[in-house]
Amino acid sequence: MFGAIYGDVIGSYYEVHCTKDYNFVFNQDSSFTDDSVLIAAVCKAIIDDPSDITAFRVNARIKEYAALYRQYYAYYPHAGFGNMFIAWAKNPYAKNGRSYANGAAMRVIPIGYAYSNMEQTLLQAKVSGMPTHNNREAIKAAQAVAAAVYLARHGEGKDKIKEFLEKKFKYNLSIPLSVIKESHVFNCRSSYSVPPAIIAFLESTDYESAIRNAISLGGDADTQACIAGGIAEAYYKEIPEHIKRFCDRRIDGSIKAAVKEFDQKYWMA
């Protein structure tokens, strides 16, 4: 799971200082952001209740996710959360939010590891998005990312992953990254930012190239690298030591603890 979090850390500086340079340096001011905080919350939600759900349990499960999102927001209120999320998190009576942004897709990576079939993976991805992203476009993006992780960790090739996502979610993943990059800007809308993040993985040759591809799009760098890095870790199953060394000291202890506990149960299983 650290593949997603390292992507967030390395991308954090370039979310503000956008770059199109593939060979950008890892900046000393990098830090974990809201992406990592909410991934830790999803890890905790799965550790606390790892069971499959049926349609009858959907509403109860949405409430469990919502409670953990609010709890983790309260731990790290200054981690870079968006205004809509903050307003939702501060109001315990708020209804499910309807954001179409990429927040549901950025935190969904653990779900790709935790369930034994695609149907449950897609249902859990939807439910994990619902508290704040009760929106068709945002849920679709979250499901696409969870499905990519699920397929990658089961050893499926990139062609199969691409074909599945194009068919199921009607994404065009055949546009070369070099073409997308020419006009790509910062925009956290799901339909705009998530497919290029998936392509950043599809065009990669290893973990590091996936996050370099994503960050050098010059867009929502931390979230796009979080998504590309999360899928890349599931696919390549290894992360270079120099990236671990750079990122590990930039992640807070309680995020690390939740993610490590999740990894011991699911990643190393």
**Do residues 161 and 202 make contact, with C-beta atoms less than 8 angstroms apart?**
yes
Q: Which is nearer to Mg ion, 107 or 212 (CB)?
A: 107
Measured distance CA(218)–CA(166) in Å, rounded? 24
CA atoms within 13 A on the CB side of 95: 4
Query: Which residues are registered as beta bridge partners of 98?
Result: 133
Sequence-distant (6+) residues with CB within 8 A of 220 are 15, 102, 186, 187, 188, 193
Residue with smallest beta-carbon separation from Mg ion: 33
CB of 30 to Mg ion, least distance (A): 12
The residues near 244 (Cβ < 8 Å, ≥ 6 apart) are 2, 6
Residue with smaller CB distance to Mg ion, 122 or 229: 229
Specify the residue, 33 or 128, whose C-beta has the smaller distance to Mg ion. Answer: 33
Q: How far is the CB of 222 from Mg ion (least distance, A)?
A: 4
Closer to Mg ion by Cβ: residue 137 or 222: 222
> By the criterion CB under 5 A, which residues form the site for Mg ion?
33-35, 80, 222
State in angstroms the smallest separation of the CB of 80 from Mg ion.
5
| Residue for token pair 């500086």 | 13
Q: How far is the CB of 70 from Mg ion (least distance, A)?
A: 18
